Amino acid sequence: MKFRGAFVDSLLIVLGILSAGMGLKGFLLPSHFIDGGVTGISILVADATGLPLSILIFIINIPFLFLGYRKLGIGFALRSAAAIGGLSLALAFMHFPDVTPDKLLTAVFGGVFIGAGIGMAIRGGAVLDGTEIAALLVSKKTQVVRVSDVILILNVIIFGAAILQLGVEKALYSILTYLAASKMIDFILNGLEQYTGMTIVSAKGEEIRIAITQSLGRGVTVYQGKSGYGKDGHINAPREIIFTVATRLEVPLLKKEILRIDPSAFIVQQSVDDTTGGLLKRKKGH
């Protein structure tokens, strides 16, 4: 089982390298566009100095790999070093066709291939770009800004430099590339089916549990709790707290059924990035 998992992870990383290489050499580099993160910095430095991009990508990622080793362990650092090294070799020695001269297609599909590559590498337990490692550490240190905020700030700086070095038009197309890559990473990591977690607090918890599990075919987790002073006037009255996960399309049906049973039920919804195990598909016959 361990061998199979290691093989799948390695395959994902190799496919990620090939996809990112295609995005860079087949789309971005011929049109002098950039992506965000370390890749974008490397392209800008290569354009300014004439140094090989394949070498710069690896060298500029080294500090981030060291941070990854300190934060996430030697296994993650070694896998990431191998992935980034593989991308460097692919850029140096592999031939990728120049797909299209169309700037819009280049920006969008270059981002799609790069995003798919980064996403597959992350699925395999590695990174092709060290920016997110740095963003995670800065976020932990300050405890004020989120990881996404740090990444956004870094990329604003990178694309600001791109405007000065490459011109406004290429910088704007590069921002489009970055957005396409971000969406593709989300798709690879989270999939098409977005899930919503629902927490239901109700005095009729048992009826709601039966409706969700039997009528709607969903799994639930039930907690025992007590109410505070609510609009029903009861203090410390027992409540069953029900948690379930549903797809976005199923949420309206669930809410309608819950409120039919208990119009005063308290429902909290939150987005769920990923799920493993449990009853996430409807039972047959429902």
Q: 155-175 pLDDT, tens per residue?
A: 888 899 999 988 999 999 999
Bridge-partner residues for 21, per DSSP?
A: none
> In the chain, which residues fall in CATH 3.30.70.120?
195-272
Burial of 129 (C-beta count, 10 Å sphere; 0-12/13-18/19+): buried
Half-sphere exposure of 248 (CA within 13 A, CB side): 6
Query: In the prediction, which pLDDT does 286 show?
Result: 44
* Cβ-based burial of 207 (10 A; exposed 0-12, middle 13-18, buried ≥19): middle
How confident is the model over 94-130, as pLDDT tens digits?
A: 999 988 889 999 999 999 999 999 889 988 888 888 8
Distances (CA, A) of 77 to 36, 38, 40, 84, 128: 21, 16, 21, 10, 11
286: tokens are 């429902």
pLDDT band at 17 (very low <50, low <70, confident <90, very high): very high
How many Å apart are CA 120 and CA 127, to the nearest integer? 9
Alpha helix positions (H), 24-102: 29-31, 37-49, 53-72, 74-93
Q: At what angle do helices 103-123 and 168-190 cross, to 10 degrees?
A: 40
Q: Are strands 238-247 and 220-226 parallel, antiparallel or unpaired?
A: antiparallel
Question: Position of tokens 């809410």?
Answer: 255
Contact call for residues 115 and 40 (beta carbons, < 8 A): no
Residue 148 has pLDDT above 60, yes or no: no
pLDDT at 12: 93
Residue 268 CB coordination number (10 Å)? 11
What distance in Å separates the CA atoms of residue 112 and residue 65, rounded to the nearest whole number? 24
Instruction: Answer whether residue 59 shows pLDDT above 80.
Output: yes
Predicted TM-score (pTM) of this structure:
0.72
Structurally, at CATH architecture level, domain 195-272 sits in 2-Layer Sandwich (3.30)
> How confident is residue 133, by pLDDT bands cut at 50, 70 and 90?
confident
Q: Among 15-19, 116-120, 222-226, name the most confident range.
A: 15-19
Give the span between the Cα atoms of 70 and 271, in whole angstroms: 31
